[in-house]
């Protein structure tokens, strides 16, 4: 069973906020602290507090990502992005990939202490650790649980290289720890901003800070000497991919001082596909046929679409000098004075 590596907390309700609720199937027969919090930001959200037995996750060798280890303090995500590729992982817990993913959050309350122990093991070789690759470690729940401060502290104390990808502005709470860690190891922070259309943001990313606020995180990190890149993701076909929209997004990224930008076209894996297309049918029924045709062969857009999109973003990014900057010159935006660099250098994110 996928839950064999986790041990669950007692169901004793010593906290007035704890309440007995129906448990997902994997929790049956074990103790679990189920918590609901009656505040506006958490209304309708249920937290399942568990004690994990391991926290460093090895990435399958077949995966194309440039790292081998991840840490995920949470499962599920209150960002509620309609397109989130991780949605289907909630079905492994006998929860659904739609509303449950947005509102039933698993919290690994011992993430920090467990990571410290695993980093200290003789078998650990100090490899790069990536965070934010599945669900966002700086989602709203982090404001209550504060797991990332312990996680970053452990990585700092072991001088272990790491990266964070986030849509959350809460990462700036930990700027002091990030700065300290960057003095002893390689630290990379990247924010995810696929577009800057405020109206669309409210529809497809309803639980996230607005895109301009996320770019403000990039500016603050860069000003603090921590070079910040932007994952321009996802670019939504027929919704955010016109030349004017791409120009507006890349210009805002450049203005935020990003040291790199990496475009990523929307992909629709099972779980995400059904949830996103459900939203699309209600909001833009005129595009449903076009999406079904574009994604009829695969969860990914056709290669020719992706190549053309990437080429356009690369060209715009090069004109703004993104990929050429260091934290010390990241405020300088002079498109007319910059020539294009090879795409591999411009768009390296992790």
7 has pLDDT over 90:
no
pLDDT at 32 over 90: no
Q: Break the chain into its structural domains and give their ranges.
A: 30-161, 193-325
Encode the chain in three state secondary structure. CCCCCEEECCCCCCCCCECCCCCCHHHCCCCCEEEECCCCCCCCCEEEEEEECCCCEECCCCCCCCCCEEECCEECCCCCCCCCHHHHHHHHHCCCCCHHHHHEEEEECCHHHHHHHHHCCCCCCCCCEEECCCCCCCCCHHHHHCHHHHHHHHHHHCCCCEEEEECCHHHHHHHHHHHHHHCCCCEEEEEECCCCCHHHHHHHCCCCCCHHHHHHHHHHHHHCCCCEEEEEEEECCCCCCCHHHHHHHHHHHHHCCCCEEEEEECECCCCHHHHHHHHHHHHCHHHHHHHHHHCCCCCECCHHHHHHHHHHHHHHHHHCCCCCCCHHHCCCCCHHHCCCCCHHHHCCCC
The answer to whether the beta carbons of residues 259 and 328 sit under 8 Å apart is no
Q: Please give the share of the chain, as a percent, with pLDDT higher than 70.
A: 83
Q: Would the pLDDT of 324 be above 60? A: no
Q: What is the pLDDT of residue 338?
A: 32
Residue 12 has pLDDT above 50, yes or no: no
Structure confidence at residue 328 as a pLDDT band (50, 70, 90) = very low
Confidence of residue 26 (pLDDT cuts 50, 70, 90): low
pLDDT at 323 exceeding the cut of 90 = no
Distance CA 174, CA 176 (A): 5
Q: What does pLDDT average to over the chain?
A: 87
- Give the Cα separation of 340 and 299 in Å (integer): 31
pLDDT tens column, 126-167: 999 999 999 999 999 999 999 999 999 999 999 999 999 999
Residue 344 clears pLDDT 70, i.e. is over it? no
Kindly give the pairing relationship between strand 162-166 and strand 69-71: unpaired
Question: When comparing pLDDT for 313 and 12, which is higher?
Answer: 313
Query: Whole-angstrom Cα distance, residue 102 to residue 99?
Result: 5
pLDDT above 70: residue 202: yes
8 A C-beta contact, residue 49 and residue 13:
no
The CB density around residue 66, as the number of other CB atoms within 10 Å, is 12
Distance CA 153, CA 174 (A): 10
Distance CA 221, CA 203 (A): 28
Assess whether pLDDT exceeds 80 at residue 347.
Answer: no
* pLDDT surpasses 90 at 334: no
Nearest to 119 by CA among 88, 157, 75, 72: 157
Q: How far apart are CA 252 and CA 330, in angstroms?
A: 13
Q: Determine the average pLDDT of the residues in 171-187.
A: 98
Q: What is the mean pLDDT of residues 177-198?
A: 98
pTM summary value: 0.86
| pLDDT value at residue 64 | 80
Which residue do the tokens 């996750």 mark? 57
Q: Which residue has the higher pLDDT, 177 or 38?
A: 177
Q: Other C-beta atoms within 10 Å of 76: how many? A: 28
**Is 327 within 8 Å of 226 (Cβ atoms)?**
yes
CB 37 within 8 A of CB 105: no
pLDDT in tens, 205-254: 999 999 999 999 999 999 999 989 999 999 999 999 999 999 999 999 99
Contact 265, 305 (CB under 8 A): yes
The predicted structure's pLDDT at residue 63: 83
Q: What is the mean pLDDT of residues 57-70?
A: 90
Mean pLDDT calculated for residue range 202-206: 98
- Per cent of the chain over pLDDT 90 is 78
Residue 302 CA to residue 304 CA, distance in Å, equals 6
Q: What are phi and psi of 146, to 5 degrees?
A: 60, 35
Query: What is the band of 23 on the pLDDT scale with cuts at 50, 70, 90?
Result: low
pLDDT tens readout for residues 95-135: 999 999 999 999 999 999 999 999 999 999 999 999 999 99
């Amino acid at each position: 069973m996928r839950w064999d590596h986790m041990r669950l907390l007692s169901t004793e309700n010593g906290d007035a906020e704890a309440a007995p609720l129906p448990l997902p199937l994997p929790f049956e027969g074990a103790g679990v602290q189920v918590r609901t919090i009656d505040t506006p930001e958490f209304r309708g959200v249920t937290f399942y507090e568990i004690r994990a037995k391991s926290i460093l996750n090895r990435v399958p060798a077949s995966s194309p990502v440039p790292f081998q280890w991840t840490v995920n303090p949470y499962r599920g995500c209150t960002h509620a992005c309609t397109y989130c590729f991780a949605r289907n992982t909630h079905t492994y817990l006998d929860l659904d990939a739609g509303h449950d993913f947005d509102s039933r959050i698993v919290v690994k309350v011992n993430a920090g202490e467990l990571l410290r122990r695993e980093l200290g093991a003789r078998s650990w070789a100090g490899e790069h650790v990536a965070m934010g690759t599945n669900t966002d470690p700086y989602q709203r729940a982090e404001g209550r649980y504060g797991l990332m401060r312990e996680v970053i502290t452990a990585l700092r104390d072991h001088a272990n290289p790491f990266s964070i990808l986030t849509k959350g502005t809460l990462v700036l709470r930990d700027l002091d720890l990030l700065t300290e860690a960057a003095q002893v190891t390689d630290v990379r922070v990247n924010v995810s901003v696929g577009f800057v259309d405020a109206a669309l943001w409210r529809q497809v990313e309803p639980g996230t800070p607005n895109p301009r606020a996320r770019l403000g995180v990039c500016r603050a990190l860069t000003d603090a000497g921590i070079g910040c890149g932007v994952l321009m993701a996802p670019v939504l076909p027929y919704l955010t991919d016109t030349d004017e929209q791409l120009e507006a997004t890349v210009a805002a990224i450049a203005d935020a001082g990003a040291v790199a930008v990496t475009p990523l076209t929307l992909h629709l894996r099972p779980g995400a596909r059904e949830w996103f297309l459900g939203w699309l049918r209600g909001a833009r029924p005129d595009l449903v046929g076009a999406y079904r045709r574009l994604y009829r062969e695969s969860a990914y857009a056709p290669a020719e679409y992706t190549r053309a999109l990437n080429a356009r973003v690369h060209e715009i990014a090069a004109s703004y000098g993104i990929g050429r900057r260091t934290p010390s010159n990241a405020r300088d935006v002079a498109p007319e004075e910059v020539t294009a660099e090879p795409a591999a250098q411009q768009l390296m994110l992790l």
